[in-house]
Structure 1
Amino acid sequence: MGESEYLNITPQEDRSANMSTGGLILLGLQHTFTMFGATVLVPYLTGIPVNVALLTAGLGTLLFHWITKWKVPVFLGSSFAYIAPVVAVTTYYMQQGGLEYKSIQDAVQAGVDLRPYLAYATGGIVLAGLVKFVFGLLIKWIGIRRFEKLFPPVISGTMIILIGLILSPVAVNMASGNWTIALISLFTAIFVRLYMRGFNRLVPVIWGIIVGYVVALITGNVNFAELSTASWIGMPEMYLPKFSWYAAAAIVPVAIAPSVEHFGDVFAISAVVGKKFYEDPGMHRTLMGDGLATSLGGLLGGPANTTYSENTGVLAFTKAFNPWIMRIAAFFAILMSLVPKVGALVRSIPVPVMGGIEILLFGMIASIGAKTLINNQVKVEGKNLVIMSLMLVTGLGGAVFQAGNFALQGLGLAAIVGILANAILSLTGASDD
Structure 2
Amino acid sequence: MAKVILTGAQMLFVAFGALVLVPLLTGLDPSVALFTAGVGTLVFHAVTKQSVPVFLASSFAFIAPIQGSVASFGVPATMGGLMAAGLVYVAISQAVRLKGTAWLHRLPPAVVVGPVIMVIGLALAPVAVSMATGETSDNIGYGAAIFLSMTSLLVTLVLAVFGRGLLRLVPIIGGIVTGYCLALVMGVVDFTPVREAAWLSIPSFTAPSFHWAAILFMIPVAIAPAVEHIGDMVAIGSVTRKTTWKSLAYIAPC
TM beyond 0.5: yes
Q: TM-score range by the shorter chain?
A: 0.7 to 0.9
Q: How does 1:309-324 map to 2 (within 5 A)?
A: none
Aligned CA-pair RMSD? 2.9
Give the TM-score taking structure 2 as reference length. Answer: 0.79
Q: For residue 57 of structure 2, what is the aligned residue in structure 1?
A: 77
Paired letter, 1:126: M
Q: For residue 156 of structure 1, what is the aligned residue in structure 2?
A: 110
Conserved 8 A contact 2:52-2:243? no
Q: Aligned match of 1:250 in 195, 217, 226?
A: 217
Q: For residue 125 of structure 1, what is the aligned residue in structure 2?
A: 82
Paired letter, 2:47: I
How far apart, CA to CA, are the structure 1 residues paired with 2:113 and 2:66? 26
Q: Aligned match of 2:30 in 38, 46, 50?
A: 50
Which aligned runs of 4 or more in structure 1 are off by greater than 4 angstroms?
A: 190-201
How far apart, CA to CA, are the structure 2 residues paired with 1:242 and 1:161? 34
Paired letter, 1:259: A
How far apart, CA to CA, are the structure 1 residues paired with 2:87 and 2:119? 29
Conserved 8 A contact 1:39-1:77? yes
Structure 1 spans left out of the alignment, 5+ residues: 1-18, 94-116, 295-305, 307-433
How far apart, CA to CA, are the structure 2 residues paired with 1:43 and 1:28? 23
Q: CA deviation at 1:51?
A: 0.7
How far apart, CA to CA, are the structure 1 residues paired with 2:30 and 2:199? 15
Give the TM-score taking structure 1 as reference length. Answer: 0.49
How far apart, CA to CA, are the structure 2 residues paired with 1:135 and 1:25? 33
Structure 2 spans left out of the alignment, 5+ residues: 135-144
- Distance change (3 Å), C-alpha of 1:52 and 1:179: same
How far apart, CA to CA, are the structure 2 residues paired with 1:193 and 1:260? 27
Asked if 1:267 corresponds to 2:224, the answer is: no
Conserved 8 A contact 2:22-2:63? yes
Asked if 1:180 corresponds to 2:147, the answer is: yes
Q: How does 1:60-99 map to 2 (within 5 A)?
A: 60-93=40-73
How far apart, CA to CA, are the structure 1 residues paired with 2:102 and 2:241? 19
Paired letter, 1:216: A
Conserved 8 A contact 1:160-1:265? no
How far apart, CA to CA, are the structure 2 residues paired with 1:245 and 1:163? 29
Kindly provide the CA deviation profile for residues 110-136 of structure 1, in whole angstroms up to 9, marking residues without a partner as x: xxxxxxx52221122111101111022
Q: CA deviation at 1:257?
A: 2.3
SS in 1 for 2:60: coil
Percent identity of paired positions between Structure 1 and Structure 2: 39
How far apart, CA to CA, are the structure 2 residues paired with 1:249 and 1:165? 23
Q: How does 1:146-295 map to 2 (within 5 A)?
A: 146-150=103-107, 155-156=109-110, 159-160=113-114, 163-164=117-118, 166-168=120-122, 170=124, 173=129, 174-177=131-134, 178-192=145-159, 199-275=166-242, 277-278=244-245, 281-283=246-248, 285-287=249-251, 290=252, 294=253
- Distance change (3 Å), C-alpha of 1:145 and 1:179: same
SS in 2 for 1:82: helix
Q: Aligned match of 1:143 in 100, 113, 120?
A: 100
Structure 1 stretch displaced more, 134-143 or 160-169: 160-169
Paired letter, 2:81: G
SS in 1 for 2:61: coil
Q: Name the larger-Rg structure.
A: 1
How far apart, CA to CA, are the structure 1 residues paired with 2:104 and 2:113? 15
Conserved 8 A contact 1:160-1:268? no
- Distance change (3 Å), C-alpha of 1:169 and 1:118: closer
Q: CA deviation at 1:230?
A: 2.0
How far apart, CA to CA, are the structure 1 residues paired with 2:30 and 2:120? 25
Q: Aligned match of 2:20 in 40, 47, 50?
A: 40
Conserved 8 A contact 1:193-1:201? yes
